[in-house]
Amino acid sequence: MTENVSHDHQRAGAYFDRKAELFDSLYSLDKATPFMRFMNRHFRNDIYERYLLTVNHVKAVKAQSVLDVGVGSGRYATGYAEAGVKRVVGVDISSSMLDLAREHVKQLNGSQTKFEFVLSDIDAYQTADRFDVVVAMGFFDYISEPVPSLKKLREFCTHSVIASFPSISFYRTPLRKVRYAIKKCPVYFYRVEQIERLAHEAGFSKCSVTKIKGAGMDYVAIMTR
């Protein structure tokens, strides 16, 4: 892990190192227990909606390069390859997640996509490269000060940033806060107007926010540079 890491990021990284296999199972029914398969089908279909929105955006703008911040176990990275993206760089603070990502992309047969996975906090990550699209799914859940991160992501993209933001729910938000407090992992929630304001403060010219159907009801924002 790089040295310039916020306390929130350290806690989130430690949590995902512990839970990497569990989170990856949300995308694979084969790896999940019967109970988790039931939960995923009936209460977590929004995870797949979020994935489809992201890959469809990458296709729509004909992206040739993608930077995925909080790439996790690499399930999205394989989707970019199937969408024809030539270069994918995945950044994550969990070494366990990155190990899974490397294993998943190895299973792609005949892919011409170049993959690179980097263990880093986004605040410490530096590159002179620029990417057509920057993806940050499940990233701002754990960021206490979003504007500096959004500004940095904007610098990395030539077209747009697509990111998810947990919505505020009367009953789900308190429960999730308690669950994650017990796990010693921070979590934050947003309203549409707040997301639009953050995008404006970060310098984006346009922000389009969609609320995903499903139990989680996350927002997905496409912020055009």
Least confident residue range of 27-41, 168-182, 189-203: 27-41
Query: Higher-confidence residue: 204 or 173?
Result: 204
Task: For 81-119, write each residue's pLDDT tens digit.
Answer: 989 999 999 999 888 889 989 988 988 877 899 999 999
Query: Higher-confidence residue: 21 or 122?
Result: 122
pLDDT over 80 at 202, yes or no: yes
What is the Cα gyration radius of the chain? 16
Least confident residue range of 47-51, 65-69, 155-159: 47-51
The span from the CA of 220 to the CA of 131, in Å, is 19
pLDDT band at 40 (very low <50, low <70, confident <90, very high): very low
3-state secondary structure of 32: coil
Task: For 137-192, write each residue's pLDDT tens digit.
Answer: 989 988 888 999 999 999 999 999 999 998 876 556 556 655 655 556 677 889 99
Mean pLDDT of the chain: 80
pTM of the model: 0.77
Region class of 79: left (phi > 0), else alpha (psi between -120 and 50), else beta:
alpha
**CA 31 → CA 24, 101, 178, distances in Å?**
8, 15, 27
Q: What is the structure's pLDDT at 107?
A: 85
Q: What is the structure's pLDDT at 198?
A: 97
pLDDT-above-90 percentage for the chain:
45
Contact of 79 with 55, CB cutoff 8 Å: yes
User: Tokens in use for 32?
Assistant: 């999940």
Domain 7-224 fold: Rossmann fold (3.40.50)
DSSP states of 99-130: HHHHHHHHT-SS---EEEEEE--TTT---S--
The structural domains of the chain, with segments of one domain joined by +, span 7-224
Q: What is the structure's pLDDT at 93?
A: 87
72, 54, 58: which is closest to 131 by C-alpha?
A: 58
Q: How many CB atoms lie within 10 A of CB 89?
A: 22
For the beta sheet containing 157-165, the strands, ordered from the edge strand earlier in sequence to the opposite edge, are: 114-119, 87-92, 65-69, 131-136, 157-165, 219-224, 206-211
pLDDT-above-70 percentage for the chain:
71
